Chains A and B, each alone.
Chain A
């Protein structure tokens, strides 16, 4: 079997005249945890519902664990665990009954069902509420039960639509830990619009905007991209002409800012040393030199606020 567990090729999806997805290509390998990021309405949920077999794409193909979702949806669905946006909770069932019921729908043999349910409950921290009715549990526990049902049948592919929504900070930490642990064994695709979540749990981040994937990169890659937009802030008591600053090697642009200078640095260059040396030689009176880098957040905002065409051009130029 190939190592690609989730594969979307040129997936498009229309809702009437509205285009939700336009030619999405996505691959997730075995054991990988991939974060699916994007503003609201970007198409994250649509893509995930397609992978969960609930929605058919208008065009394009999708495979999970090597099985075609379009020609053999039932078999493909056996390989997938899916947490929808709001946890699919039966209020009249206890946590244990609920997980046992869904395990039986997902082909967990009767003999192994009890163990599977116990394991899922332990992994999601549900042991002490096992026999309580879901309708009486708090939002956080319902969310956990939702995650538990997505992994109770030990699927190869786990799709989580905003798994940490509605949880308190401690629960969020536990769930992130759980998701990190899911990787390796399972392939995980999780959507979120919280950046630190991706930084903490994912190997790779896929950014979707207006139904197209605008960036697909490892976290290191994104961090490098963030660093390449590196800048320095300098305060000088006796500044020279701007053109002198600009002439220093590795400096792209100089702007006046808060009584000092904001210096945009060319990718990969570090003009700090040259700047300090020159300042001492020419007595500029250097009083402050602060490196500032773009946060990942800014990179994302940049990617999503630009026109799609511009992004596409930039992507192909890389």
Chain B
């Protein structure tokens, strides 16, 4: 456990020392905040219309927080490959990998160390993205539970993206190639449901819909935390970690 913590802390630190992570955070925060303020303005206009013509009006959280977090996940889809590409590929390219690989660590310990370091960073990211929704409490009465569920969903999405990115980074010693691989895999996970929606009841379509990340995430955004959706993210992350582990083991044999 101790070496895992050591790797995690080093990884976390080196992310904050690199301008890349800061830039990505800034871009992510700027765009999501912009979208959020646009959504709140739209909501205000809608509320005024509802007041003028009567009617119940839409939920504040549904109209502002949910779309913002939905968009944040899309942005993460674009950004997280850039964040994770370095994790292992960079060590191999800079030839620091032998120092880690010759230390008394199992491949899984190395991967978990890297992964937890990344999760720390992602926690900071989600924490940052929590600021705009929490500001709503100052001006209205948003649904706190729904916001929490949405943020948890976003963190799970980010963690899953991270695990896939880590596996891609373990598969190559070129960070750019790692980024392309993880982007490809993540996009496939994202759009699988589009492929699935065509038929409807067909088994293949149902499987595709289950594989797709979007359906599971949307439930979190509506405020529903179900163990099935939680399990989905955990399973995909674990599969990615296990794949990365086999890749690292095979490397010892293949050279």
Contacts and interface: CB of A to CB of B under 8 A. Distances in A.
Interface of A: 13, 15, 49, 52-56, 74-75, 77-78, 80, 82, 84, 86, 88-92, 101-102, 104-107, 149
23 contacts: A13-B255, A15-B255, A52-B101, A52-B102, A53-B102, A54-B101, A55-B252, A56-B252, A74-B106, A82-B99, A86-B95, A88-B96, A88-B97, A88-B98, A90-B14, A90-B94, A90-B96, A91-B94, A92-B14, A101-B6, A104-B6, A105-B100, A107-B104
Contacts of B102: 52-54, 77, 80, 82, 84
B3 interface: yes
A84 B17 CA distance: 26
B interface: dominant SS:
helix
A84 B252 contact: no
Given A49-B98, A102-B99, A105-B3, 15 more contacts: A13-B255, A52-B98, A52-B102, A53-B102, A54-B101, A54-B252, A55-B252, A77-B104, A77-B105, A80-B102, A84-B98, A84-B99, A90-B96, A105-B105, A107-B3
A188 to B, nearest CB: 15
A84 to B, nearest CB: 4
Contacts, number: 70
A72 to B, nearest CB: 10
B103 A105 contact: yes
A316 to B, nearest CB: 31
Contact of B2 (A84, A89, A104, A149): A104
Contacts of B41: none
Given A56-B252, A92-B17, A77 B98 contact: no
Nearest to B97: A88
A77 B96 CA distance: 16
Interface in B58-111: 94-106
B3 A53 contact: no
A74 B252 contact: no
B253 interface: yes
Contacts of A102: 99, 103
A161 to B, nearest CB: 9
